[in-house]
């Protein structure tokens, strides 16, 4: 604040240096920042420079409002509004002199807004909740005016503030609106990333300090004062609800820690970007990462600096398996970095309470009682499997009864969708489990069938007595041998002739189309295990010989180390993993995404969660997507995040995937797209009694979709699976018992409640 100038001069006098002029220059800059001419004087000077009636009306309003302002909050509000109006008029005007006028007003109002901050914060020290909301609204307007928020995000957030501006608000409603307002900084970070991320990425290769550019933009913008005010409101609602999080030996608030899904884990804290002291098994590690990266291996827990995409494959897996996934504020990162290579316990409760602590004796019993492994274990029902069926089959010939019997759940459910929603599922054929089972009869060099060899090796892995490094080397060697064997196979002439005929009948002449060759095992899309993203899809394959090669890649993909690690811990009989292959005609979608038929953040079935991006497969691969919550009753839309990708993947006419620029639109889905998705959701629920596929385990459903020429197409449907053990774990449930979730009335005219946290 303004007093910092005196502090700089005092420091320079107390510590003589060779360059005192540098300190005086800094002190003078601070003086200048807080010695702005009154905004009313600037408005008066600008008035004669325009004869535009609308401009004069706005300048008149600003001058009169500032003159009549009875306190600092009113002055702050008018200043922020002038910033907002200046931006809006600057964007609309086509006249150069008017553009310069609005630019000048915007700069002057912005300087005044910055200079008013210390006085505003001082006023709020004894201010009411409504006072804080007024100041928060002003900071929001200023953030929009300075380019930190898109128009869409700005008006979304303004609705949340307006909803709280009344004399009394129920506590749970207060908490919900504050939670939505917490998205502001991520909206802003996304906006700066959208504008400058690609530039920063280029410059950072020469100068690593360029990586700090976006963070510096946020710190030096009105978002800094927004955060300062918002944090007080977050502490207030945390106090009212008795929400506190444990971070080692201290308690912190929800501004510091935020749970993405419930879970409990013990593990060694690892930053995979740094070199570690020796090998650390990911399965016994807690990863500290910038965001929940798509390629993350099987880990015990995740601590992340940014939320990332909530419906990416890896986040769905974390929810499914009860792997705690927690967002940590930058302020806590130094202490976490000091804890690298030490053993931690991390926990996130169903209601969002968080514990991060050094692992000690007090937690031994707690971990022994955790039943996540038992609940998530996958039993293979061998009686249902029909490995004798080896006929290449079209989707039209399948239905839900065939799911997990002769083909995987992906193909079985997709076949049912094709029957119930004609025209929304592209043509496809399936190689059943039996084809893969026959392949496993190939003889190894030792003379035993591959299937028997795999069983022997899995037993050896389960009983391995060596250290972690030796065990991992052994696992890698086994998996490499399996993959190499499968990739080197050659299909027999009978199978080739059958497949070629079926493809020509279903898709047309060879070379005239592309197909996605998709894995579909008996250990994915199950009621208690999603397996999202573990196995391979070879996209847009053109030409029969390339399809044969892609099939072998799909057969080998469950034996990649990452896929093996995510699934192996939970399978009782891993040797009975079987692969069917779905070969589906390429759909050249312009946009694609994932829809969960509930609110993914709180489980409310009155909403659906929709994430989308331009191009093919961006959402599931953890691209920064547009995320919306849509109310099923009236299709009301709540914006959670905007798309933030400058590139997209599209299918190539000659085969494969191309990377190209996006259309520079941050909005992906428009009302017609949302209406199509909501109509589909309504029909899906209406018809579940009519089909064998639609049993109670399907809902809420996880649907992958796309749009081509504004027409909805469907690629997959499976259960949206969350960990039951994480939601029922005694320790996690007891954390939530302390939370006050009552709907009592909270007076918004009273001062904030300020407990002794932080």
* Rg of the Cα atoms in the chain: 29
Tell whether domain 393-585 is in CATH 3.30.1490.20.
yes
- What's the pTM value of the predicted model, to 2 decimals? 0.89
pLDDT of residue 283: 85
Contact between 547 and 432 under an 8 Å Cβ cutoff? The reply is no
- Phi then psi for residue 710, to 5 deg, are 70, 10
Angle at 595 (CA atoms; ends 287, 405), nearest 5 degrees? 85
pLDDT of residue 757: 41
What Å distances lie between residue 44 and 39, 67, 84, CA to CA? 9, 12, 19
CATH number, span 245-370+733-739: 3.50.30.10
Intrachain domains 393-585 and 591-708 with the same fold: no
Helix 151-164 to helix 184-204 angle, to the nearest 10 degrees? Answer: 150
pLDDT of residue 435: 97
Query: Hunting for tokens 């993203």 — which residue is that?
Result: 533
Q: Which of 65, 169, 76 lies closest to 119 in space, CA to CA?
A: 76
Angle at 132 (CA atoms; ends 128, 135), nearest 5 degrees? 140
Between 3.40.50.10490, 3.30.470.20, 3.40.190.10, 3.30.365.10, what CATH number should domain 591-708 receive?
A: 3.30.470.20
> Distance between CA atoms of 539 and 87, rounded to whole angstroms?
45
Contact between 46 and 101 under an 8 Å Cβ cutoff? The reply is yes
701: three-class secondary structure by DSSP: strand
Q: Where are the domains of the chain?
A: 25-241, 245-370+733-739, 393-585, 591-708
Reading the block at residue 491, the tokens are 């299909």
pLDDT of residue 14: 78
What Å distances lie between residue 564 and 155, 482, 559, CA to CA? 46, 12, 6
| Average pLDDT of adjacent 10-residue blocks, the chain of 758 residues | 75 75 79 70 86 88 93 96 94 90 92 92 95 98 96 97 97 95 92 91 90 89 94 94 92 90 93 72 88 80 87 84 91 92 94 94 73 60 90 93 91 92 96 96 91 94 87 93 95 96 97 96 81 86 97 96 81 90 97 95 94 87 88 96 92 93 91 97 82 65 95 93 84 89 92 67
pLDDT of residue 372: 47
Who contacts 53 (Cβ-Cβ below 8 Å, separation ≥6)?
A: none
pLDDT of residue 215: 87
- Find the DSSP H helices in 125-183: 129-145, 151-164, 171-181
Contact between 520 and 409 under an 8 Å Cβ cutoff? The reply is yes
Taking residue 9's Cβ as centre, other Cβ atoms within 10 Å add up to: 17
Contact between 414 and 399 under an 8 Å Cβ cutoff? The reply is no
pLDDT of residue 279: 67
Reading the block at residue 353, the tokens are 């309470």
pLDDT of residue 758: 38
Total number of residues shown for the chain: 758
- Find the DSSP H helices in 608-708: 671-686
pLDDT of residue 370: 47
Query: Hunting for tokens 């990416």 — which residue is that?
Result: 312
Contact between 738 and 383 under an 8 Å Cβ cutoff? The reply is no
**Diameter of the chain measured on Cα atoms:** 96
pLDDT of residue 131: 98
> Distance between CA atoms of 189 and 364, rounded to whole angstroms?
40
Q: Which of 304, 313, 318, 345 lies closest to 262 in space, CA to CA?
A: 318
Q: Which of 145, 49, 61 lies closest to 95 in space, CA to CA?
A: 49
């Amino acid at each position: 604040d303004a007093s910092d100038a005196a502090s700089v001069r005092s420091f320079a006098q107390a510590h003589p240096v060779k360059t005192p002029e540098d300190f005086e220059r800094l002190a003078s800059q601070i003086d200048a920042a807080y010695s702005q001419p009154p905004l009313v004087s600037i408005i008066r000077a600008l008035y004669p420079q325009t004869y535009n009636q609308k401009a004069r009306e706005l300048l008149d309003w600003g001058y009169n409002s500032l003159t009549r302002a009875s306190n600092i909050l009113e002055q702050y509000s008018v200043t922020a509004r002038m910033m907002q109006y200046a931006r809006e008029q600057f964007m609309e005007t086509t006249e150069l002199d008017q553009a310069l006028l609005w630019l000048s007003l915007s700069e002057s109002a912005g300087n005044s807004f910055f200079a008013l901050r210390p006085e505003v914060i001082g006023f709020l020290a004894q201010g009411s909740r409504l006072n804080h909301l007024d100041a928060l609204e002003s900071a929001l307007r200023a953030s929009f005016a300075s380019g930190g928020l898109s128009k869409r995000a700005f008006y979304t957030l303004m609705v949340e503030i307006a909803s709280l501006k009344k004399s009394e608000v129920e506590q749970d409603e207060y908490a919900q609106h504050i939670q939505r307002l917490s998205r502001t900084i991520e909206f802003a970070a996304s906006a700066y990333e959208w504008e400058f991320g690609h530039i920063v990425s280029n410059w950072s290769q020469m100068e690593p300090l360029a990586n700090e550019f976006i963070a510096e933009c946020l710190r030096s913008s009105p978002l800094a004062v927004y955060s300062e005010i918002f944090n007080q409101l977050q502490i207030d609602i945390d106090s009212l609800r008795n929400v506190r999080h444990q971070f080692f030996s201290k308690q912190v608030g929800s501004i510091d820690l935020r749970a993405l899904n419930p879970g409990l884990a013990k593990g060694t804290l690892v930053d995979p970007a740094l070199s570690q002291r020796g090998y650390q098994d990911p399965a016994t590690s807690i990863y500290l990462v910038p965001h929940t990266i798509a390629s993350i291996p099987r880990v015990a827990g995740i601590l992340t600096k940014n939320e990332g995409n909530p419906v990416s494959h890896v986040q769905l897996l974390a929810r499914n398996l009860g792997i705690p996934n927690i967002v940590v504020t930058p302020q806590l990162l130094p202490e976490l970095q000091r804890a690298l290579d030490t053993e931690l316990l991390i926990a996130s409760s169903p209601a969002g309470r968080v514990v991060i602590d050094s692992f000690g004796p007090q937690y031994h019993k707690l971990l022994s009682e955790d039943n996540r492994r038992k609940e998530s274990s996958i039993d293979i029902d061998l009686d249902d499997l029909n490995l004798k069926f080896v006929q290449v089959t079209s989707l039209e010939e399948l239905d839900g009864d065939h799911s997990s019997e002769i083909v995987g759940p992906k193909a079985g459910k997709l076949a049912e969708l094709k029957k119930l929603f004609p025209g929304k599922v592209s043509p496809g054929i399936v190689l059943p489990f039996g084809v893969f089972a026959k392949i496993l009869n190939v003889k190894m060099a030792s003379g035993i069938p591959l299937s028997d060899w795999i069983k022997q090796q899995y037993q050896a892995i389960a009983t391995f007595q060596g250290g972690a490094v030796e065990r991992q080397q052994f696992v890698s060697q086994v998996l490499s041998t399996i993959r190499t064997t499968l990739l080197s196979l050659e299909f027999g002439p009978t199978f080739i002739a059958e497949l070629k005929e079926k493809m020509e009948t279903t898709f047309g002449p060879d070379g005239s189309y592309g197909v996605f060759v998709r894995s579909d095992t008996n250990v994915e899309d199950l009621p208690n295990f999603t397996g999202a993203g573990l196995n391979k899809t070879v996209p847009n394959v053109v030409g029969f010989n390339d399809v044969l090669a892609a099939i072998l890649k799909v057969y080998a993909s469950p034996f990649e180390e990452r896929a093996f690690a995510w699934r192996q811990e939970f399978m009782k009989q891993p040797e009975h993993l079987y692969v069917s292959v779905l070969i589906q005609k390429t759909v050249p979608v312009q946009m694609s995404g994932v829809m969960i038929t509930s609110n993914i953040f709180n489980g409310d079935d009155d909403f659906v969660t929709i994430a989308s991006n331009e191009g093919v497969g961006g959402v599931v691969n953890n691209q920064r997507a547009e995320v919306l919550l849509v109310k099923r009753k009236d299709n009301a839309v709540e914006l959670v995040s905007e798309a933030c990708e400058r590139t997209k993947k599209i299918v190539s006419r000659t085969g494969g995937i191309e990377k190209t620029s996006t259309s520079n639109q941050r909005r992906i889905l428009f009302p017609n797209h949302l209406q199509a998705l909501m109509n589909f959701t309504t029909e899906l629920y209406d018809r579940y009694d009519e089909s064998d596929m639609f049993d109670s385990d399907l809902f809420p459903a996880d649907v992958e979709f796309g749009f081509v020429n504004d027409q909805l197409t469907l690629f997959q449907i499976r259960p949206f699976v969350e960990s039951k053990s994480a939601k029922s774990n005694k320790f996690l449930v007891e954390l939530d018992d302390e939370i006050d979730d009552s709907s009592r009335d909270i007076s918004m005219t009273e001062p904030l409640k300020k407990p002794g946290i932080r």
